[in-house]
Structure 1
Amino acid sequence: MDLKSFIIGMLSGIALTIVGVFFLAFIGLQGGKDDDIQFLEHPVSYENKKTTSFKVFQVIEKNKALANEISDKEYKWFNGKTVVLVGDDFYSDQVITVKQPQRVGTYSYTNKGGMPMTVPVIQGEVKE
């Protein structure tokens, strides 16, 4: 084998590796951001509530956040059910009141303890 063949083979291998990495990255980006959300065909009322409040404890994306529902309005304790809120910008410890909350789907994730979790996805008229 001469030096020219060796260099051409090495450069071809590097080029194909780079193209392969970009291809795999492109395929990975094609997966929708909502892969973990299973949307319902028709939204349903969230536990027949007209209004309820939630406190964000983790922002998933700009328009999605994990939140706990209020459990005691008098003391403002947010130890109720865990849900995913879908809407505008969210930030940690944000308290959000939702009028006419609708369950639009479910969100599946794995918590810090390694347990698989599935929680309702809630949408509605948001008041801060």
Structure 2
Amino acid sequence: MEYLSRCLDSLNHNPDFNFHPRCERLHITHLMFTDDLLMFARADHSSLELLFDAFSKFSHASGLVANPEKSNLYTAGVTEEEKSDLQLIVKMPIGSFPLKYLGVPLTTRKLFYQECKPLIEKTVA
């Protein structure tokens, strides 16, 4: 997994790679937890291709590959045509938001906490 991190971190120095807009300030390309991997990039052809080239480099060296039945491409702010073009690069189904990752809801919008009123109110006579 250290080698995978190094492969993905090398994208930081590639001028053709564009970070996901929410990840650019911290230079985040991926997050890993046990056997789960989230990879982030701007939704453009060159960035996605570079991201998957880095993952392929790791796969060839380690023999570990992603399970296509458990993998999805998630996009936001792109047209359906762009989404279809990106899907051709990664060859995996398009996922939809919201989704849960490790029990945490992920969405394209900010989450807000709203306190709920109790369903049963007690009255004292």
Instruction: Give the shorter-chain TM-score range.
Output: under 0.3
TM-score (norm 2): 0.21
Higher strand share: 1
Structure with the larger RCO, 1 or 2 (CA within 8 Å, 6+ apart):
1
TM-score (norm 1): 0.21
Higher Cα Rg: structure 1 or 2? 1
